[in-house]
Chains A and B, each alone.
Chain A
C-alpha cells in the first residue's frame, strides 16, 4: 500500500499542475463559491453564455486542454483522447478538482463518446467523436422518465420503425443541461412485448428535430439544471441507433472502461472544508457563530470523512490499475460521497450561525459568497440522482455481499 506518488506519477502531477497554472483562464480562477453552484451546467453553459468574457474563457480552456488530448483524457489516442492510464486519469482529475478547474465536454466525453467507441459503427464515430472533442457539440442524457426513476428499465418512451426512420413519442425527465446541449442520447422502447430489459434501444437524437421540445424544471435552489423533454412524432434516422435494436439497455449500461473513482468530488469537499477553515480564521471572522463549541468537532469529523472518501476513490483506481473490475465498491463511493456532501454543507452552514441562511452571495452579510447555504440545498438531490442511495445500498447488499434479492 502506498499513498505516495511514484516518480512517474509525481512528474505527471507536476505537468498537470503547471498546465493549469499557465493555461486556466482568469475567469475560472479564484471564482467565488457561488459560481460553482452552477456546476450541473458548468462549462457547457459557459460556451453559450451571453457574456463574451465567459464564452472566450470556455473556448480558450477547451482549446488548451485539446492540445494535450485532455478534453477526453480517458479515450484511446486513436479516437483523439489522451489514452491516459487509470492512475494518470486519477491524478488529472484530482488536480483539476484541486484547482477548481472545470472539466470540458460533459456527457459527450463521459458517456456518448465512450459508448460509440465500444458500440458505434465507424461512420457514427467519425460523425460524432471529432465534434465532441472540439467542444462543438454538447450532449445530454435522456434516460429517466416520470414513471421510471430507480426502476429505469420500465421506461415507456416509444419508438416505432417507419422505413429508414424511427418515430419517437413520449417524455423524458431530469434531462440535465439539455438547454445547453445540441444532441441527446436516449433509451427508448422499441419492442413493448419483449421482457422489459430486452425491448429497449439506444438512440442519438438531434435536439433540433421537429416535434422535440424542452420545458425547464426549476429546482428548489431556484436554478435551472434540468428539463422535461417531450417527443411528438420525432423522426430519428435509423442510422442513429447505437448497437443492435432492442439491445439498448446493455449499450446504455456498458461499464465504460475509465476512471470513475469520484476522486474529483473527494478533493472538492476536502478543499472546500479547508478553504472554510482558513476563511474562519481571517476576514470573515464576524460571521463565525460565537458558540462554535460543537461545530469544531463536526469539522474534525468532516475532515476525517473526506479522507475516508479519498481512500475509497483511491481504492477504486487501485483495483482498476490491477485489472480488477470494481463491484460494490463503486456504489460505496456514490453513497458515501453524496452523504458526505450533505454533511459538509450542513457543517459549513452551521459554522456561520444566523448568517448561514443568507442566500444572496452579493449581500454584505454573506459568508463566503453564500456557498455553504447554497450547497446545503444543492446537495439534496445528490443522494437521489444516479441511482438513489437506497438503490446503492441494495446493490451493495445483493451484488456485493451476495444477500438474496427481496
Chain B
C-alpha cells in the first residue's frame, strides 16, 4: 500500500507539466474555443513526439507500453492545462478498444498511426436517447463478413469533426457490435454542437456508412464495458487536474485581492471555502487513482466496477463544488470572459456529464451495494 507516485510516474508528471505550461497556454485554449477544428495540429504533433498518444500502446505497435495508471497521471496534467482536442477520444475511444479487441492486422494498421499522431479517432457511443447503457444503442449495424453497414444517429460525439476514424457502436442481429468507420465517406454527416465548454461534440448521422468489424459480431458491449470504464476514469482524471488548477488559481487570488485593507484570504469565510476546496480536490484525486489502480491491476470485476462508479459519482460532484467556490471567491472579476477562472467552470460541466454524472453513478453504486 502506498499512495505516492513511483519515480517513473513522478518523471512523467513533471515532464507533462513543464511541457504543457510551455505549449498549452491560456491563449491557445481560448483560440481553440473559436477554432473550427477545436485543436492545434502543431500541439497534437508535439504530444505525439512526447509519446502521449501511444502511452498505452504496446511497444510492438509503436507505443510506449505504459499502463493505465500512468495514463491517468498524464490526463490529470492535461486537465490542469485544459488541453483541448481529441486526445481522450483518440486514446480511450480508439486505441483502447483496438488494443482490447482488434485483430493483429487491425492493431498493425491503426495503433502505430495513433501513436505517431497521424490518426485521430473518436468513440461514437451515445445517441439521441443520451443513455450510457447497452439499451441506448439503436443504430442499425448490418454485418457481412468483416464489413459493417451502419445507419442511425450518434450524438455528443467528441471531436468527430476532425476524427479520421470512429469506433461506432451499432446493433446487429447478434446484439451490440463495434465497427471502425472512416469518417470521410459519403455515409457520414458530422455537425458540431455548441456546448457550455466550447468543445466540439457532434451530431453524427450515419446513412449506410461503411466500416470494418471490431471484435466479434454481437461482442460489442462486452468490449465497451472495459472501454467505458477506462474512459470514465480518464474523464475523472481530467477533472482532478482541472479542479486542482481552479483551486490553485483561487487560493492565489485570495492572497492577492485586498478589501477592507487586508487580503480576502485572511477572512475565515474565504479560508473555510478554500479548506473545503482542497479536501474535495484531494478526495477526487485518490478515489480516481483507486479506480485507475483497480483497472490497471485487473482487480476482481465487481470491485473494479464499484471503484469506477464511486470515482465518477464523487468526482462529478466534488469538482463542481470546487469550481463553484472558485467563482464565488473571485467575485465579479471571475464572471468576466477575460479572466481565466471561467474556462475551468465551463469545462467542469462537460466532464461532469461525460459518461454519466453523479446521479447516474450513485444509482449504480446503490444497486451494487445491494440496495
Known: A277-B370, A296-B366, A401-B251. A9 touches B282 (CB 8 A): no
Which residues of the other chain, B, contact A17 by a CB distance below 8 angstroms? none
B1 contacts A87, C-beta separation under 8 Å: yes
The reply to whether the CB of B8 lies closer than 8 angstroms to some CB of chain A is no
Interface string of A313-346 (1 = CB under 8 A from B): 0110111011000001101100110000000000
A390 lies within 8 A of chain B by Cβ? yes
Cβ-defined contact, A308 with B268, below 8 A: no
The distance from the CB of A115 to the nearest CB of chain B, in whole angstroms, is 29
| A299 beta carbon closer than 8 Å to chain B | yes
Decide if B4 touches A1 in the complex (CB within 8 Å): yes
| A393 pairs with B272, CB closer than 8 A | yes
Within 8 A of A (CB), among B330-371: 359, 362-363, 365-366, 369-371
A403 touches B271 (CB 8 A): yes
Task: List the A side residues contacting B223 at CB < 8 Å.
Answer: none
Interface majority SS (helix, strand, loop, mixed), chain B: helix
Once A1-B5, A304-B313 are accepted as A-B contacts, the answer to whether A299 and B366 lie under 8 Å apart by CB is yes
Contact partners of B369 in chain A: CB under 8 A: 274, 277, 299-300, 303
| B3 x A318 contact (CB < 8 A) | yes
**Residue pair A394, B3 in contact (C-beta under 8 Å):** no
Residues of A near B286 (CB, < 8 A) are: 308, 311-312, 314-315
* A297/B278 in contact, CB under 8 A: no
The 4 A-B residue pairs with the shortest CB-CB distance, nearest first, are A397-B271, A311-B286, A396-B275, A393-B275
Q: What CA separation (Å) do A304 and B363 show in the bound complex? A: 12
Contact A321 B2, CB 8 Å, known A300-B362, A303-B365, A307-B290: yes
Question: Which A residues are CB-close (under 8 A) to B267?
Answer: 406
Do residues A403 and B251 form an inter-chain contact, with CB atoms below 8 A? yes
Q: Is the CB of B287 within 8 A of A394?
A: no
**Contact partner, B366, options A297, A317, A390, Cβ 8 Å:** A297
B103: Cβ under 8 A from any A Cβ:
no
- B266 near A: Cβ within 8 Å? yes
A300 CB to nearest B CB, Å: 4
Choose among B272, B279, B289 the residue with the greatest number of A CB atoms under 10 Å from its CB. Answer: B279
Q: Are B293 and A1 interface neighbours, CB within 8 A?
A: yes
A283 at the interface (CB under 8 A from B): no
Which secondary structure dominates where chain A touches chain B? helix
Structural contact, B282 and A303, CB atoms closer than 8 A: no
Q: Interface residue tally of chain B, by bracket? A: 35 or more
**Does residue B255 face the partner (Cβ distance < 8 Å to A)?**
yes
Residues A322 and B366 in contact, CB atoms below 8 Å apart: no
A197 CB, min distance to chain B CBs, angstroms: 21
Judged by a CB distance under 8 angstroms, whether A237 is at the interface is: no
Q: B282–A300 contact, CB under 8 A?
A: no
Quick check: is A2 within 8 A (CB to CB) of the other chain?
yes
Residue of A1, A296, A301, A303 ringed by the most chain B CB atoms within 10 A: A1
Q: Check if B313 sits within 8 Å of A403, measured CB to CB.
A: no
Q: Which residues of B contact A208 (CB under 8 A)?
A: none
- State whether A314 touches B3 (Cβ < 8 A): yes
* Cβ contact within 8 Å between A308 and B287: yes
Docked complex Cα distance between A353 and B125 (Å): 42
Within 8 A of A (CB), among B253-304: 254-255, 262-263, 265-268, 270-272, 274-276, 278-279, 282-283, 286-287, 289-290, 292-294, 297
- How many A-B Cβ pairs are below 8 Å? 152
B155 on the interface (CB 8 Å rule)? Answer: no
Contact for A308 among B263, B292, B314, CB less than 8 A: B314
Instruction: Report A-chain residues with C-beta under 8 Å of the C-beta of B365.
Output: 300, 303-304
Most chain A CB within a 10 A radius of its CB, from B267, B283, B294, B371: B371
Q: Are B274 and A401 in contact (CB under 8 A)?
A: yes
Q: Are B313 and A394 in contact (CB under 8 A)?
A: no
21 A-B residue pairs with Cβ-Cβ distance under 8 Å, sorted by A, are A1-B4, A1-B5, A4-B297, A296-B366, A300-B362, A300-B369, A300-B371, A304-B362, A308-B283, A311-B287, A314-B3, A315-B3, A315-B282, A317-B1, A332-B279, A393-B275, A393-B276, A394-B268, A396-B275, A397-B265, A401-B274
In this assembly, does B120 line the interface, its C-beta being within 8 Å of a C-beta of chain A? Answer: no
Give 15 A-B pairs besides A6-B1, A335-B275 with Cβ atoms closer than 8 angstroms: A4-B297, A5-B1, A9-B1, A292-B371, A299-B369, A300-B365, A303-B310, A303-B369, A311-B3, A311-B283, A311-B287, A314-B3, A396-B275, A404-B262, A406-B262
Alpha-carbon gap, A277 to B279, bound state (A): 27
Q: Which of A299, A400, A401, A402 has the most CB of B within 10 A?
A: A401
* Other-chain contact of B362, A297, A308, A312 (Cβ < 8 Å): A297
Cβ of B29 < 8 Å from any Cβ of A? no
Q: CB-CB < 8 A to B2: which residues of A?
A: 1-2, 318, 321-322
CA distance A293 to B117 in the complex (A): 49
Complex CA gap A305/B272 in Å reads 20
For B98, what are the chain A residues with a Cβ–Cβ distance below 8 Å? none
Cα A404 to Cα B255 in complex, Å, equals 7
Q: Are the C-beta atoms of B287 and A1 separated by less than 8 Å?
A: no
- Residues on B with C-beta less than 8 A from A126 are none
Complex Cα spacing A308 to B311, Å: 9
> Inside 8 A of B32's CB, which chain A residues have their CB?
none
- Name the A residues within 8 Å of B371 (CB-CB): 277, 292, 296, 299-300
